[in-house]
Amino acid sequence: MDSLLIRGGQQLSGQVPIAGAKNAALPAMVASLLTDEPLVLARLPAVNDIRSLKLLLAGLGVEISEHNSTTELRAARLRSTHADYDLVRKMRASVLVLGPLLARAGEAEVSLPGGCAIGARPVNLHVEAMRALGAEVVLENGYLRARARGHRLRGGEIVLPLPSVGATENALMAAVLAEGESRIVNPAREPEVGDLVRCLVAMGARIEGFGGSAIHVQGVERLGGARHRVISDRIEAGTYAIAAAITGGCLKLAGAVADDLEVFLATLRGAGVDVVAYGDGDDDGDDEGGGVVVDARDCRLRACDVATAAHPGFPTDLQAQFMALMTRAEGESRITERIFENRFMHVQELERLGARIRVRGASALVSGPAELRGAQVTATDLRASVSLVLAGLAAEGETVVNRIYHLDRGYAGLEDKLRACGASLERLPGRADAAA
């Protein structure tokens, strides 16, 4: 497995084009299962999670082709309703096929995704949502076997005890083809869910109330094809914002949408970094469109406290990166993780680089500024991995981040983008240490 060698200490400057959002692209691709007509998606990021999902969808009968930077997905006829363990375990988001398969074919057999480095991450809310729409769901031999009574789901009320992103998406993709009206109470409000709603509406779905306390869906007989452009990746944008801040540099994040990152950007300002949104707020990823400039030259980083929360709160997917930044800030910051119970796996690795962090329950107390020095570190999930890259950029000497396959799952062209802004890093192919 590859590693990344980083020679720290370079101030980054330049422009970074922000890619399409992985976590919006994945459900949009799955939505292709809902129609026999082509769904054409623009701006799918070139990351391994997208490649894994293509394999899974192809196995279900989706024909996938690329044309001029768009991807066409067509499920003219479903070949199978079985999502196999080997594919699902690679990527938890695969469980999103449950709702659309049930809605389109009246049945689905989807492997449980299994454990995950950032906590237990159960799928009980997905299952309950399907049951509320009239499906029978049983767990047998590690598979969720689901069947719609009378072959078609019927509208119902889905009350989510917490606003799960995936369960909201699964419920939406099931309810759009169910008979009658559905209500999803306490749904997720993340921009990626909003993007799925836009995609489904473009396909002919009738959905109202996204962003509020309940989403209403009026089921339709069939959905058609559509063209949809995936939103800009707010987590990638936030990650590069921290790359600028932690190296005392200045980066223009072309295509970043400030409105999707309000709380995060306000926190960054609170830490002393200059953040300015420019342009018209669209996300074309070029100079004419919108973006955000993050300038940390001449800035003295100050400690600040954050607690992750569902959108519009501080995103859990930027918690590890923000912790890396706070190691360099003056004072003590308290970082509290409220979404996942085990998302501090980066703490020990940041300590190897010289960070001073104490974990107290769901909070990490970071004392700074710490002098970071290069070391060997090992990544355990996507965002933890990138937090180590960020710390490595600010550390003196050489840092080697092992097991970077996590990075390849979610960051398109990370090394090229960083190098183009002045970072010094290279990929070391196939180190035997990471075989486990």
Measured in whole angstroms, the distance separating CA 101 from the mean position of its chain's CA atoms is 23
Q: DSSP characters for 220-235?
A: -S----EEEEPPB-HH
Instruction: Establish whether 421 is a catalytic residue.
Output: no
Of 35-43, 114-122, 226-234, 247-255: span binding ligand EPZ (CB under 6 A): 114-122
* Site for ligand EPZ, residues 10 to 69, rule: CB under 6 A: 23, 26
Q: Residue 248 CB, nearest distance to ligand EPZ (Å)?
A: 26
Nearest to 32 by CA among 67, 64, 61, 73: 73
Backbone phi and psi for residue 17, each to the nearest 5 degrees, phi listed first? -75, 125
Neighbours of 78 (CB within 10 A): 15
**Angstrom distance (rounded) from CA 432 to CA 58:** 32
Residue closer to ligand EPZ (CB basis): 97 or 395 = 97
Q: Is 98 in the site for ligand EPZ (CB under 6 A)?
A: no
- Closest contact distance (angstroms) between CB of 169 and ligand EPZ is 7
By beta-carbon proximity to ligand EPZ, the closer residue of 164 and 247 is: 164
Q: How far is the CB of 349 from ligand EPZ (least distance, A)?
A: 16
The answer to whether 238 contacts ligand EPZ (rule: CB under 6 A) is no
Q: Which residues pair with 63 in a beta bridge?
A: 74
Is residue 185 a contact residue for ligand EPZ (CB under 6 A)? Answer: no
Please identify, using beta-carbon distances, which residue of 22 and 74 lies nearer to ligand EPZ.
22
- What's the min distance (Å) between Cβ of 172 and ligand EPZ? 12
- Cβ nearer to ligand EPZ, comparing 165 with 275: 165
Contact flag: residue 406 with ligand EPZ (CB under 6 A): no
With binding defined as CB under 6 A, does residue 306 bind ligand EPZ?
no
Q: Which residues contact 406 (CB under 8 A, 6 or more apart)?
A: 379, 380, 381, 382, 384, 385
User: Which residues have C-beta within 8 Å of that of residue 333, sequence separation ≥ 6?
Assistant: 303, 304, 305, 306, 326, 365, 366, 368
Q: Which residues of 92-127 are buried (b: 16+ CB within 10 A; e: fewer)?
A: bbbbbbbbbbbbbbbbbbbbbbeeeebeebebebbb
E strand segments, 174-303: 181-185, 206-208, 214-218, 226-229, 250-254, 274-278, 291-295
Tokens of residue 228, six digits: 């949809």
Question: Which residue of this chain has its Cβ atom nearest to ligand EPZ in the complex?
Answer: 166
Looking at residue 146, the DSSP 8-state letter turns out to be E
Quote the least distance from Cβ 27 to ligand EPZ, whole Å. 7
Contact call for residues 41 and 70 (beta carbons, < 8 A): yes
**Under rule CB under 6 A, residue 131 binds ligand EPZ:** no
Distance CA 38, CA 61 (A): 13
C-alpha neighbours within 13 Å on the C-beta side of residue 200: 32
C-beta of 318: minimal distance to ligand EPZ in Å?
10
CA distance 306 to 66: 41
* 126 touches ligand EPZ (CB under 6 A): yes
Q: How far is the CB of 278 from ligand EPZ (least distance, A)?
A: 26
Span 310-369, contacts to ligand EPZ by CB under 6 A? 316-317, 339-340
Q: Return the range that interacts with ligand EPZ (CB under 6 A); candidates 160-168, 171-179, 197-205, 328-336.
A: 160-168
Residue 92 or 228 with smaller CB distance to ligand EPZ: 92
Residue from 327, 410, 417, 425 binding ligand EPZ (CB under 6 A): 410
Q: How many CB atoms lie within 10 A of CB 398?
A: 16
Residue with Cβ nearer ligand EPZ (32 or 164)? 164
Window of 38-46, 123-131, 151-159, 240-248 that interacts with ligand EPZ by CB under 6 A: 123-131
Where do contacts with ligand EPZ occur on this chain (CB under 6 A)?
Answer: 23, 26, 92-93, 119, 121-126, 162, 164-167, 192, 316-317, 339-340, 382-383, 410
Active site residues: 116
